[in-house]
Amino acid sequence: MTEMATFAGGCFWCIEAAFDELAGVESTTSGYTGGDVEDPTYEAVCRGTTGHAEAVRVEYDPGTIDYADLLEVFFSIHDPTTVDREGPDVGSQYRSAVYYHDDRQREVVEAFVEDLEDARVYTDSIVTEIEPIGPFYVAEEYHQDYFAKNPDEPYCAAQVLPKVEKVRTEFNSMTT
């Protein structure tokens, strides 16, 4: 039986492609969550008027990879200390957030962040939002598997590929 996890940490193309590398990840879906507008479009989310973040819903097999492993990868592939920004992407839609699906996930992510802070892994404080999952709106089809379909696109080469390569290198034991 699979479980769901949802993460936001900059452009969803980056997060989706990184998680696609992991054994036990059955599927990833780019979308929008965390806001208050029903059925948002990419253009509306980019204007910053919907309250939504670009996010990725991860369906995974907990018998192969556990939630804490997903968190470890997530916190290593983006900067969780910058408000509303990841690399060149700026705006509330690019915020760092973990949207938990149940109390167990909430407890695990809260303890995970506390451990990172206690270990002073980052120079600045972690600003990642930890919120219950609300409605998740699937992004337009052209956003799905964007990196796999467009690996040579300049943004992908500059922003997505380094995150994918980091997962392949630092988390080799977890990759497919």
Percentage of the chain lying above the pLDDT 70 cut: 100
Q: Distance of CA 109 to CAs 11, 69, 144, Å?
A: 21, 11, 26
Torsion of CA 68, 70, 76, 82, to 10 degrees: -90
- pLDDT tens digits, 116-141: 999 999 999 999 999 999 999 999 99
Residue 176 pLDDT > 90:
no
Q: Which residue is catalytic, options 11, 14, 46, 156?
A: 11
**11 has catalytic annotation:** yes
Tell me what the pLDDT averaged over the chain comes to: 97
Q: Which domains occur in the chain, in start order?
A: 3-174 (3.30.1060.10)
Tokens 């988390």 belong to 171
- pLDDT tens digits, 58-85: 999 999 999 999 999 999 999 999 999 9
Work out the average pLDDT over 85-104. Answer: 97
